[in-house]
Structure 1
Amino acid sequence: MAEFTFPTLGDIRAAAARIAPHARVTPVLRSPELDALAGAELHFKCEHLQVGGAFKFRGACNAVWSLSDEEAQRGVVTHSSGNHGAALALAARTRGIPAHIVVPEGAVAAKLANIERAGGILHRCAPTQAAREETCIRVQRDTGATLVHPYADARVMAGQGTIVPELVQQAPELAAVIAPLGGGGLASGCAIALAALKPRARLFGAEPAGAGDAFQSLQRGERVTNVVPHTICDGLRATIGEPNFALLRAHR
């Protein structure tokens, strides 16, 4: 793995302050019926009420507002078929800068419409990881935009990790966190924050059985990249990122 500097709890706290004017502190809701079914007290962090409808805005917003003025003028670029692209476009709009979103052919039309409504500039490519990365490089070369990777980015991890300090305040007796796991940006940020704030709390990553690359990777002790996802959960089809896997493996 290329050298990667992981964020710290200090970076997560700085991210929380940075995104505070733009992001929401989402509520935690309870359900006695679900508690009874689970045999445990469940606390639901309602990130569907976040700006853009997903936790992705936290990381994107932190990345955008971490840029220098000179960098910001040239805009940002990412590859995404959904929530991260829309989140980055929304975050870029808060700073008045362009957001270039590389999207694969065949992406969900409603999600592409969300990106465009948020002001994102779409760049279409073939539906392969190589095509996404090559198109991002071309856009960077042509525009000077800064790459904001959907999950293998320390600024994104720190932004996603801001969920945990909120959750610890809202549910002080927290014993475990279950986080959706695709590329691993959210899980990575949560792992760092939990280790510092609630070291006895456990972190569980949830992914579809038909897209179980992270589970297989952690079981084998090496990153598995040849899983072909079969799931309707299009937001969880990403292969776990290289730095994300390294971090989650270390935090097991």
Structure 2
Amino acid sequence: MEVAPRGLRALLAAALLLLLATGAVHLVREALRDKTPNQTHARRLGLEKYLHLVAPLDEDQEQDPLEKQLVELLARSKQALEIPVVREAVLDATRDGRVTPEELTHLEALLARAGALAQEYPELAKSTGSNHTLFHAALSLHESQPQLLKQLYRSILAAKHKEALLARAIALLQELGYTRSVKVLNPTTGSFEEKTPSPLLAQVVANYTLALAEGLPRHSNQDLWLLGNATMINPEIYDFKPVTVKDMNGAVHEIG
């Protein structure tokens, strides 16, 4: 067998050592590489309580730009993350191990809306936050009917368990369809007009909710809707002042 020249043997040995060294470096790098980059990033930003929300994103052991944006968004939205419905929405987006631009946009809007509600009405956000329908009704009121929500809150402020009662009042408003514009009869023209629920209506609903808490039997939704509509037609009904009406023959009657 022909023996390789000494110089060639040395060259081969050096090449082998280089390959071994390169392999060792790769192994070391692989061993040191962060296998949970999203959780590590979240931990650094103070999200220890919410690591489970981003854990599915670490299945591929990588963090892409959208995932990085999401983690940083969550870090800016810790107050909103106290709400169970919000956490559920985040987990719905991350559960499949990836985040799409549409999901990120949706979560950004939801976290902003929920954060605004939680900042102004923290206990309301907490008391409605486990009920998807009720929480989104509160969100809707806070955005589209802020004065209505504020009047509800003021009317119930002095009551015990006010946040639970406020949640109950919001549920009643939603059940009656008063979280959006409603058709109200105009007695002068005899036609229906679109109107925004008034703060006075909020007082009626708040007082009725308080009465229910004191044991008043629940009326039918139809009766309650008529009461709300009547209040918006003539505020004096709420104040229990006498109301003057004319019948079909023109005779004047006083009710009250």
TM-score (norm 1): 0.20
Higher Rg of the two aligned structures: 2
| Higher strand fraction (1 or 2) | 1
Bigger RCO of structures 1 and 2 (CA < 8 A, at least 6 apart):
1
TM-score (norm 2): 0.19
